[in-house]
Amino acid sequence: MNRTPIFALIDCNNFFVSCERAFRPDLWHKPVAVLSNNDGCIVARSNEVKAMGVPMAVPYFQVRQLLTDNRVTLFSANFALYGDFSQRVVQILQNECPDIEVYSVDESFLEISRMGIQDYTAWGRNLRAKILQQVGIPVSVGIATSKTLAKGAADFAKKNPAAQGAFCAVDDACRQQLLDWLPIEAIWGVGRRTAPKLREIGMKNASDLSHVSDAWAQSRLSIRGVKMVRELKGQSCYGLDVSDEPQKSILRSRSFGHTIRDYYELEGAVATFAAQTAVKLRQQGELAGGVMTFLYGSKHSEVRHGGSFVTTLVPPTNETGSIVAAALEALKQVYDPDFGYKKAGVVLADLRPTTAWQLAFHSDPAQIDRQKQLSKTVDELNARYGTRLVRQASEHLENTHWFSRKQLRSPAYTTRWQELPKVK
């Protein structure tokens, strides 16, 4: 007997802003915004800032005066903090239900039909309270028989205080309530180009779209549109995506705070990125067969310049020194002193598990073991005392001005001993 799936979407509310407020209770119910990695654009807004009409991704300089006049507290993006909060929320969800799809940094789907839950709404509110108590992040919970409806239900729970943070659209009456409320442009799968076309033919909400036939949906919206309409009717067309395929590459890059022409500044940046990719590679238990270094000029300059070069690693390795050396060798091939650069990065490619590696005939096993032990020791020291305690000589010793502007970054409250919050 086939069981009807029940999906729950857990959506962290205004996630980046909520992470910043977790250690700043003085900012609860105050206007807060988060700037992009280079302090250039607005990437997160509190409800108070949204109410001011500040759009997502707007350049900061265009709304600077408005934010200043309204005393908006600004933060530079602190992705280490946000990533740690995300992992904490996911850990609670994994303990709650083994059937989980981490959809994004602030959203996860659960399939809860096998949990024996009697009251889905009460369960959702209890889960919300648990996350708020243990992590300090407010979430919205949407529950339905399809992922599209669950996503809409979470949006309903977020924007309707009477829902108390959770809304269940499993039964027909609640599903119809959701469909009547959900605007056509807010449906998961309706893009910015599609919504105006549907509006033109009189469709205002999800209820209107849910009544069309499969033939109409396929002719106007393609096969994906057919599935979207079926999901609005409560039929599940998309299960959990729990594939755990290994990454095909590892990337570390950054836009600089200003244009860089000096080779040695670029060398320090590239060496730092390469060292970071090597740590990630070891954490995944993999080896890299190639390293690519790339440089980009400013997209605003009249002459755009940039390029990339790939260095092969023989034998494949995850040892920091070899990866940094290969990245810097590639940098020499790309760098042109006649141009300035605004962005650089390192990509590890041709990844393979360490168990699949065969020792090259000219390699010294004892030397390989020494390199492994050295990398392990460095990783342990940096994990304990700070991520930049022990570095390659080619890396920058301090946060020099090639780093992105992060003038308003909050402390790494949860990931660095030196920046733990102090109780007075």
133 compared with 388, residue with greater pLDDT: 133
Total Cβ atoms within 10 A of residue 406: 17
Residue 303: predicted pLDDT: 47
Instruction: Answer yes or no: is 412 within a domain.
Output: no
**Is 336 domain-assigned?**
yes
Domain count of the fold of the chain: 1
Q: Work out the average pLDDT over 121-140.
A: 97
Least confidently predicted of 20-34, 61-75, 100-114, 357-371: 357-371
The answer to whether residue 194 sits within a structural domain is no
For the ranges 164-168, 278-282, 304-308, the maximum mean pLDDT occurs at: 164-168
- Record the tokens describing residue 43, joined without a space: 């990437």
pLDDT, tens digit, for every residue of 285-297? 899 999 999 998 8
- For 326, the domain range is 250-385
Q: What angle do CA 402, 408, 411 make, to 5 degrees?
A: 95
pLDDT level of residue 326 (50, 70, 90 thresholds): very high
- pLDDT for 213-253, tens place per residue? 999 989 888 888 999 999 999 999 999 986 555 567 899 88
Is the residue at 325 inside a domain? yes
Give 155's pLDDT tier (boundaries 50, 70, 90).
Answer: very high
**What confidence tens digit (pLDDT) does each residue in 60-75 have?**
999 999 999 999 999 9
The letter for the amino acid at 164 is Q
Q: Which two tokens stand for residue 113?
A: 């039909």
Q: What is the pLDDT of residue 96?
A: 94
**pLDDT: which is higher, 324 or 144:** 144
Residue 269 lies in a domain: yes
Cis check: omega of the bond before 315, within 30 degrees of 0: yes
Distance CA(21)–CA(25), nearest Å, equals 6
Q: Flag whether 348 is in a domain.
A: yes
Is residue 270 situated within a structural domain? Answer: yes
Q: Alpha-carbon dihedral of residues 198, 203, 208, 211, nearest 10 degrees?
A: -50
Which two tokens mark 391? 């570095």
Distances in whole angstroms, Cα of residue 112 to Cα of each of 5, 100, 122, 288:
7, 9, 14, 39
Is the backbone of residue 164 left (phi > 0), alpha (psi -120 to 50) or beta? left
Model confidence pLDDT, tens digit, residues 12-34: 999 999 999 999 999 999 999 99
Supply the pLDDT for residue 378: 56
Residue 357 lies in a domain: yes
Between CA 29 and CA 202 the distance in angstroms is 38
Structure tokens, 163: 């829902």
pLDDT band at 258 (very low <50, low <70, confident <90, very high): confident
CATH of the domain at 269: 3.30.1490.100
In contact, 364 and 319? CB cutoff 8 Å: no
Q: Which of 61-65, 197-201, 420-424 has the lowest mean pLDDT?
A: 420-424
Q: What is the predicted pLDDT for the residue at 242?
A: 65
Average pLDDT over residues 40-54: 93
Structure token pair of residue 1: 């007997």
Q: What is the pLDDT of residue 279?
A: 86
Q: Give pLDDT, residue 422.
A: 74
